[in-house]
Amino acid sequence: MNVFKLLVTGLIAVAFLYIVFTTIAPLFADKTPLQAHVEPLLVNAQARLGEAQVLSLNLKKDQSLRASNFDTPLRSVAFACNSSSECCPTPTNCPNAIVASPTNLIVNESVRATLSVRCDPKIGLQACKIYVGKVPAQLEWKSTDIPTQLDLSTGSTIIAKGSLLNSGELASETITLTLTVKEKRFSEGKEQVVTVTEAEQTLPPIPAGKNTAVELRVDITEAGEYTIELMAQGEDAGAAKKEGIIHVTGFTASTCHATTSSIGGFLDEETGMCSKEKFCEGCDFAFECRDAWIAKGGVTGTTYDSTRGSNTVVYAIYSPTGEGICR
């Protein structure tokens, strides 16, 4: 066997041992009592993304945890101290019983503490944080009012309301509120969920234990069955989501109407007829503008040309006066 083959074989062996000791071995390693308490919290937090899983327990002096022991190919874990009276973010000159840095938790003195675990979806994995100290801000819907029916002939606005509660022990940061309307559609033989319309609103922080009333609106123009998603989320405040189904029927009532005319007209030498601009508002098409002027009425014998018009203007065609003047 030549030197190159020996080198390749050695590199493969090193890579294999690295995988065994960093990925596979921890799965079979004996868990400490503290690890055994934390692991179920992580499992529950992964199953209920955005919701904190809380546990109060007695910590014993010299107990410790490494965040990396809880990492998996689909999960990244970090500790966070959120109470300056109960823990420290670094071990340097720490007067408290617990040190909770992003990578380690160390118990300096026996104490009863609260651990809160929450996971948020990230690209490719779930980012989980183990809070030490206070229960972090936690958003949840105390109540919601999401419509289930909408008749477009009476209005095209979907209004979703709710009472948003911060059930944690700390105030939240700024909150992002979104109202999303989705529809199932078939494209290239596959069913896809498509966002039809969306509205977003920024809310100020919510104090611990307080709730705030919210309202979001979106417009929709086509009948169908849609899924409505009302979502609130904030940094270190988790997420709260409510969904509902709305059945939209009818047709959008037109706001198209005739407005004003140009002053005077002009004579078409070829046809001997007068032409004058007639303006509209709220129309989508030229024929709607034409129909609005017909409905409004006018001089007998007047016709309306929409072929060279637009959704804002059509042309009235009428006879000149006896003197050949287009009034």
Percent of the chain past pLDDT 90, that is, above it, reads 59
The residues near 123 (Cβ < 8 Å, ≥ 6 apart) are none
Which carries the bigger pLDDT value, residue 251 or residue 271? 271
The larger pLDDT score, comparing residue 267 to residue 214, is at: 214
- Distance between CA atoms of residues 220 and 223, nearest Å: 8
Q: Smallest Cα–Cα separation from 235: which of 173, 161, 148?
A: 173
Q: With 60 as the cut, is the pLDDT of residue 284 above it?
A: yes
More confident position, 74 or 141: 141
- For residue 102, the model assigns a pLDDT of 97
261 has a pLDDT exceeding 50: yes
Nearest to 125 by CA among 162, 72, 169: 72
Q: pLDDT, tens digit, for every residue of 23-49?
A: 444 444 445 789 999 999 999 999 999
**Which pLDDT band holds residue 283 (cuts at 50, 70, 90)?**
confident
pLDDT of residue 252: 67
What's the pLDDT tens digit per position in 219-233? Answer: 998 889 999 999 999
Residues 6+ apart with CB under 8 A from 322: none
DSSP 6-52: HHHHHHHHHHHHHHIIIIIHHHHSPPPHHHHHHHHHHHHHHHSTT--
Q: Give the three-class secondary structure for 287.
A: helix
Q: Over pLDDT 70: what percentage of the chain? A: 88
**What is the average per-residue pLDDT within 245-269?**
86
Pairing of strands 266-267, 257-261: unpaired
Closest-CA residue to 267 (of 311, 224, 229, 321): 321
Domains of the chain with bracketed CATH = 31-132 (2.60.40), 139-249 (2.60.40.10), 257-318 (no CATH)
Check residue 179 and report its DSSP letter. Answer: E
- At 20 the pLDDT is 40
